[in-house]
Structure 1
Amino acid sequence: MHSAKLFILLVASSFALPAAAQRAARSNYVVRGQLTNAPAGTWVYVTDYLTGQHVPLDSATTDSKGRFRIRGQVAAPGTYNLRVKGQDRTAGLALAPGSRLRVRGDAASLWSTGEVTGSAEAVSLATMNREHARILAHVDALAQRRQTTTDTATLRQIGQEWDTSFAALTAASLRVARQSSYVAPFVAASFLSGNGANVAFLDSATSRYAQQWPASPYTKQLLHYQAMRRATTIGQLAPEINLPTPDGRPLPLSSLRGKYVLVDFWASWCGPCRQENAVLVRTYQQFRPKGFEVYGVSADSKPEAWLAAIRQDGLLWPQVLDVPSATSVASTVYNIYAYPTSFLLDPQGRIIAKDFRGDALAQKLGELLP
């Protein structure tokens, strides 16, 4: 019996050892690190966040000194995350076949403390992450100060610091996005594509990324953003929208041809949108008899909030609901990154102007519909 058990163990080990060797052979990157506030047994993961959720790729646990080693495999250079179980914030990882990275930081705040070495790409990404964390911590402090004061001078100063902080945030991102690195498309898509002031840079950079890193999913995202921007420039026929109205029936945007139409992207939760609604109601009442219409597109996830806002603001024009998602019209067709956003169409459905505030729309319509 003893001999039989020994034989079974020997046979099992003869399969287990080659399997372990095969896993090691398949690994093409190694991430070693030491974390504070990470007692023995703390799980550390390398994750992929491309879909908007952390998908674990490989993992390891820390020893009594907070040390860990993760082996894994990536098919191509890419940007991933190092995540500690139970923590929302992560440290960015620039990984490529052959990467040998070292990480140090506080397990409770990897985003702001994580230092990564081992490649130029890894260093630049981690440095940018720490700079972003520092700037956004200051922005949070400014937001708290703004809620506790009504002093005009103080509010003006806070506003100036706010603008300076976001300019610094953009500058930190641009430094990496300008590099000839596979991290550059990730930074451009994640941190620069939501700001209309970066359009000229993004158009130029996207063309370069398409040559250098054509397989990068972030290059593909940027090419899609570029196509959406070009499809919604002045002079283009506005892309079709066909979404449900409050009674559940779809209303095509094209059904309003023959009038000047303002396509108004708004939401019940958007303070500036609600303020603009009061002005838009006056403009609508003045110019509707002359051939003006509004097509409201709401980015509300709660229909009841949408309907309540329509009633409260007295919105008299056609409304459709574009529930926020990865497939919404706002995000996949019109490249909306801020609310409110509006497009004025001529009677043929072509875009002739964008983004009116205050009485600017009434002035424009006064020229078009005297």
Structure 2
Amino acid sequence: MKKGITLLLMLLPFVVAAQKSYTLTGKLSTLKVPAKAYLVTFQKGAWKETDSVVIIDGKFQFIGKVDQPQSALIAVKKLSGSGKQPDNLSFYLENSKITVTGKDSIKTAIVTGSVSDRENRELSAMTTPFTKKIMKIQREFSKGDHGVVEGKTLEQRKEAQDSLNSYVKQIRTIQQKFVETHLNSYMGLYTFNTSILGSHFDSAEVMPLYTKFSPQLQSSALGQLALDRILANGKRAVGVKIIDFVQTDISGKPFNMQSLRGKYVFLDFWASWCYWCRKENPNVLKAYEQLKDRNLEIVSISFDESKAAWENAVKEDKLPWLQVSDLKGMQVRDGLAAMLDIKAIPQNLLINPEGIIIATNLRGEELPAKLAALIK
């Protein structure tokens, strides 16, 4: 009996989130002017107005359902008098009884009843101090257009970078522990997706943690997305055979990855709009000039959506090697970026003559030497 109660308590956060509908009740006790409340949810990458209602005597209510907890906000717009601009409150909406209580402004209201929102705020409270420190350093040492503030010594820059690395590591540790202690909650799975499965991760390292999530979460839409990402990421891990794929080169001819079997291939993922990709191109060019006669082919795969922008960047950066793209960007589910779970660029893979990935993310001024050491 005791064991059963313990199991029920473990599953409670997910059970609450799995109710069939939500009832969101709001109360702004000192709001006296006519006003209207809007419920806005984040769907398919964009904010969408879901519902609206007139606030009467400071009270309002929304009733509906969501497939899974999601980012949302309540906007309150006063219909008369001063302050006609809406003020907002962001929170996580889930299928439960949620209460929002405040005085005159919604942005200072308190949300209760949403497990996902409460857990998100708990996590944010732990990471925000480090995030603020990171932002402070970034403001002090950088400016627009990726420029660098003058007057900082090399030692000061190194100290700042060491501090940044330390803060990022501490945030990562907090997120890791949060996930490990929230294996039955949607927010635990959400944090796993957004933080543990960042732009760079090892599929073999994260899979054991994924399998610890409850079966209900694993079978959810978010759980399936996480699994898809892990499996796709494994397709570009060292020791794995590169998938065969077809792209179109810059002249409109088809390129098949398999056609380069028997050669070393340096796959370079980039885009015309990617600042750091363009900064890295001179290093790739240097490697090409030094190693093009050593059974090495360089293939740049652009994640542009505009052919004109892609062609102009190739011309401006004077890139003489093979340039290919599906012109689908990085968001399309059937594009190469999705097939290999590439969420950030620049990235690259070095593939041996047998088609096996032998190195990843080689870059910098030492790129020619790094490649030369791996090419036999």
* Counterpart for residue 228 of structure 2: 224
Give the residue type in structure 1 aligned to 2:212.
R
Shift of 1:135: 5.6
* Larger helix proportion of the pair: 1
Separation in structure 2 between the aligned mates of residue 174 and residue 37 of structure 1, nearest angstrom: 42
Separation in structure 1 between the aligned mates of residue 173 and residue 30 of structure 2, nearest angstrom: 32
Q: Do residues 44 (structure 1) and 38 (structure 2) align?
A: yes
**Structure-1-length-normalised TM-score:** 0.76
Deviation per residue, 1:104-147 (Å, 9 max, x gap): 5799995xx66422254431123335666676565444433223
Separation in structure 2 between the aligned mates of residue 118 and residue 223 of structure 1, nearest angstrom: 29
Separation in structure 2 between the aligned mates of residue 212 and residue 368 of structure 1, nearest angstrom: 45
Separation in structure 1 between the aligned mates of residue 210 and residue 245 of structure 2, nearest angstrom: 27
Is 287-296 or 233-242 further displaced after alignment? 233-242
* Counterpart for residue 168 of structure 2: 166
Shift of 1:275: 2.8
- Structure 1 gaps of 5+ residues are 1-25
- 1:100 corresponds, among 90, 94, 97, to 97
* Counterpart for residue 289 of structure 2: 285
* Counterpart for residue 325 of structure 1: 331
Aligned positions of 1:1-370 closer than 5 A: 28-34=21-27, 40-45=34-39, 47-49=41-43, 51-63=44-56, 65=58, 67-74=59-66, 78-84=69-75, 91-96=90-95, 99-104=96-101, 115-129=110-124, 136=131, 139-147=134-142, 149-150=149-150, 151-152=152-153, 154-178=156-180, 179=182, 180-196=184-200, 202-209=206-213, 211-321=215-325, 322=327, 323-327=329-333, 329-358=335-364, 360-369=366-375
* Larger strand proportion of the pair: 2
CA contact (8 A) 1:104 1:116 kept: yes
Is 27-36 or 202-211 further displaced after alignment? 27-36
CA contact (8 A) 1:170 1:191 kept: yes
Higher relative contact order by CA 8 Å / sep ≥ 6: 1 or 2?
A: 2
Shift of 1:231: 1.8
Separation in structure 2 between the aligned mates of residue 330 and residue 230 of structure 1, nearest angstrom: 14
Aligned length: 338
**Structure-2-length-normalised TM-score:** 0.75
Shift of 1:314: 1.8
Structure number with larger C-alpha Rg: 1
Shift of 1:341: 0.8
Shift of 1:164: 4.3
Deviation per residue, 1:67-124 (Å, 9 max, x gap): 432122346x53342342788986232523xx212235799995xx664222544311
Task: For residue 267 of structure 2, give the secondary structure of its aligned residue in structure 1.
Answer: strand
Separation in structure 2 between the aligned mates of residue 36 and residue 249 of structure 1, nearest angstrom: 67
Separation in structure 2 between the aligned mates of residue 144 and residue 36 of structure 1, nearest angstrom: 39
**Pair 101,176 (structure 1): closer, same or farther in 2 beyond 3 Å:** farther
Task: For residue 312 of structure 2, give the secondary structure of its aligned residue in structure 1.
Answer: helix
**Pair 48,310 (structure 1): closer, same or farther in 2 beyond 3 Å:** closer
CA contact (8 A) 2:300 2:324 kept: yes
Give the residue type in structure 1 aligned to 2:347.
T
Separation in structure 2 between the aligned mates of residue 327 and residue 200 of structure 1, nearest angstrom: 23
Separation in structure 2 between the aligned mates of residue 339 and residue 79 of structure 1, nearest angstrom: 27
Deviation per residue, 1:213-244 (Å, 9 max, x gap): 13321101110011112222222221233222
RMSD: 3.6
